[in-house]
Amino acid sequence: MDIVKGFPATSQDNYQLNVTTIIKHAARSFGRQEIVSRRLDGSMFKYTYADAHERMKRLANGLRSIGVQVGDRVGVLAWNSHENYEIYFGLPGLGAVMLLLNLRLTPQDLAYVIDHSGASFIIVDETLLPIAHAVAPLCKSLKGFVIITLPGKKLADVKTNLKNAYSYEDLIAEASADFEWPHMDETSAYAACYTTGTTGKPKGIYYSHRDVYLHSCAIGNNAEISLADTYCQIVPMFHALGWGLSQAATMVGARLVFPGMYTLDRLEGLSKLIVDEKVTVSAGAPAIFMPLLEYIRGLDEKLDLGGARLLSGASEPPVAMMKGFWELTGAEVIHAYGATETTPLVTTNRLMPWLVGELTKDQQWELKKKQGFTVVGLDLKVVNALDAEIAHDGKTPGEILIRGPWITAKYHDAPGTESQFTKDGYWRSGDMGTIDEHGYLKITDRVKDVIKSGGEWISSVDMENEIISFPAVLEAAVVGIPHPKWEERPLALVVLREGEKEGVTADDIRNHLANTFAKWQLPDEVVFVNEIPKTSVGKLNKKEIRAQYKELYSK
């Protein structure tokens, strides 16, 4: 990306974009706005932006007093509490990096992340101490712990063998509220989050203050969040910045609700909180929104959430769920797309006004399932295997490449990962998608599940599904095998049902596939096997299949 210098401006361009600007603003302008938190013992707690800001400044002083300095990395193992919200501003505000620790990782992976970042301290909820206990002996860089004890509990009464453990509440109580947030260079890291891909070690993304500030503007603008809203933090705050709406909500002074601890199999408390507090903006996965809808359906009184916006990510939102919210409460479910590498907002799906008259209601609902259009500030393109942009026909798939101020430019200290970025600064998302004539993106596959052939893509998942729809077939796996001319060509492994093992030929499978695939996409070889290699968790082991057949097309 060549940068061109123009005529000099007189603007205050050295004023750094800092995340603390957001909370200073909220405390100044919206000091009396309410923050509601369900504590880890189930009790409710309420305070204000002004109160929270004071505790953040005390926290910053308290952390400094135990040795946390500018540039230090400090891990956080915590639920969606008001304390975590305080950490979101107070910890990076003093110049340290907030390392988000996913409490669902194995102790080995957590220890890898902690040591890779060089974290010196971990702030941990008392209820999550078992994780800290498992991780601590595996880590080299840790110097101490700060424990968020259960309400009213003293540190002395907490059962732990952790050395150098401090109480979060004691640190805050003993520290001064007099703290001037430093003006951090905006390219300094505000937080770090490690991806947990299926292969290789976790990879670190270190979000700059500039990144998070601009992302907050963008997601706030897309969620149309305002002072009149009540925002509930559903997305775990240990995922990519909890998806960033808590900062955006703070920017505009919305009322905040923190649900504390909840798990997918214990959602009733969360649902009740959302209804009781009349939440108007939130973000989460369909896995949360589906049971929430059922809860609302079971209420005696009709719930009016007219104008509310629920950003739904992680997987495609079912139409029944979107329709359900709309018809039952007036809330709009908005499909959004992103990744840890993208802070994460990349696309949102809103219905363009000019499509209202052109599409039937059913078509509009189908359209709402797509990932949507790219938010302002980012470049997004979908490319074929030769990195040329694909047609915007809603059919041709390609890999999604993204760049912009809140997209990562590299992985932290991860040699060998350079190929995941293009020369002109795009991040290769690994997601395959199409763009339709209206500009809506739809994710179709992961790149690792597609086959590159002659500069084009063939979806292995689609082909597997199509083969399985052949009555005699029990199971199928499709992989790309290196080919001297076409780069890769598809190979299909097929397990036939008992009693059907005679009489089915490779051409039968190919003829069946020809109904939906182009001739050049059909597998050169269809191999009938008794069993397909599987991984320890029962998934198709494509790595092993590719290794086993790697010379099939080059002999």
Q: How far apart are CA 94 and CA 100, in angstroms?
A: 17
Minimum Å distance from CB 1 to a copy of itself? Answer: 6
Q: Is residue 464 annotated as a catalytic residue, yes or no?
A: no
Name which of 187 and 469 has its Cβ closer to a copy of itself. 187
Q: Phi, psi at residue 99, to the nearest 5°?
A: -90, 110
Minimum Å distance from CB 291 to a copy of itself? Answer: 30
Q: Is residue 452 annotated as a catalytic residue, yes or no?
A: yes
Taking CB under 8 A as the rule, does residue 178 contact a copy of itself? no
Taking CB under 8 A as the rule, does residue 188 contact a copy of itself? yes
Name which of 220 and 317 has its Cβ closer to a copy of itself. 220
**Residue type for position 419:** S
Minimum Å distance from CB 217 to a copy of itself? Answer: 4
For residue 344, cis peptide bond before it (omega within 30 degrees of 0):
yes
Do residues 165 and 385 touch, judged by C-beta distance below 8 A? no
Name which of 255 and 512 has its Cβ closer to a copy of itself. 255
Taking CB under 8 A as the rule, does residue 163 contact a copy of itself? no
Under rule CB under 8 A, which residues in 70-89 are in contact with a copy of itself?
A: 70-73
Coil vs helix vs strand at 454: coil
State the number of binding residues for a copy of itself (CB under 8 A). 86
Pairing of strands 441-446, 450-453: unpaired
Name which of 8 and 484 has its Cβ closer to a copy of itself. 8
Q: Is residue 475 annotated as a catalytic residue, yes or no?
A: no
Q: How far apart are CA 161 and CA 163, in angstroms?
A: 6
How large is the greatest C-alpha to C-alpha distance in the chain, in angstroms?
A: 82
Q: How far apart are CA 236 and CA 219, in angstroms?
A: 17
Minimum Å distance from CB 7 to a copy of itself? Answer: 4
- Among residues 226, 315, 465, 505, which is the contact residue for a copy of itself, using CB under 8 A? 226
Under rule CB under 8 A, which residues in 424-483 are in contact with a copy of itself?
A: 425, 439
How many angstroms separate the first and last alpha carbons of the chain? 42
Q: Per-residue b/e over 173-210, b at no fewer than 16 CB within 10 Å?
A: eebeeebebeebebebbbbbbbbeeeeeebbbbbbbbb
Under rule CB under 8 A, which residues in 352-411 are in contact with a copy of itself?
A: 352-354, 373-377, 403-411
Q: Is residue 457 annotated as a catalytic residue, yes or no?
A: yes
- Among residues 141, 221, 420, 548, which is the contact residue for a copy of itself, using CB under 8 A? 221
Q: Phi, psi at residue 390, to the nearest 5°?
A: -80, 165
Name which of 27 and 105 has its Cβ closer to a copy of itself. 27
Which listed residue (406, 427, 457, 486) is catalytic? 457
Which listed residue (57, 442, 452, 542) is catalytic? 452
Minimum Å distance from CB 427 to a copy of itself? Answer: 8
Name which of 141 and 160 has its Cβ closer to a copy of itself. 141
Minimum Å distance from CB 547 to a copy of itself? Answer: 32
Under rule CB under 8 A, which residues in 140-159 are in contact with a copy of itself?
A: none
Under rule CB under 8 A, which residues in 1-60 are in contact with a copy of itself?
A: 1-17, 21-22, 25-26, 28-33
Binding range to a copy of itself, per CB under 8 A, among 140-148, 251-259, 362-370, 492-500 = 251-259
Q: Which long-range contacts (CB under 8 A, 24 or more apart) does 519-525 make?
A: 520/453, 520/454, 520/456, 521/453, 521/458, 521/463, 521/490, 522/490, 523/463, 523/478, 523/489, 523/490, 523/491, 523/492, 524/489, 524/490, 524/491, 524/553, 525/491, 525/492, 525/552, 525/553
- Number of alpha carbons in the 13 Å side-chain half-sphere of residue 112: 16
Taking CB under 8 A as the rule, does residue 183 contact a copy of itself? yes
Do residues 375 and 362 touch, judged by C-beta distance below 8 A? no
- Among residues 83, 86, 211, 445, which is the contact residue for a copy of itself, using CB under 8 A? 211
Which listed residue (21, 48, 195, 196) is catalytic? 195
Under rule CB under 8 A, which residues in 109-138 are in contact with a copy of itself?
A: none
Taking CB under 8 A as the rule, does residue 252 contact a copy of itself? yes
**Residue type for position 86:** E
Q: Which residues are catalytic?
A: 195, 341, 452, 457
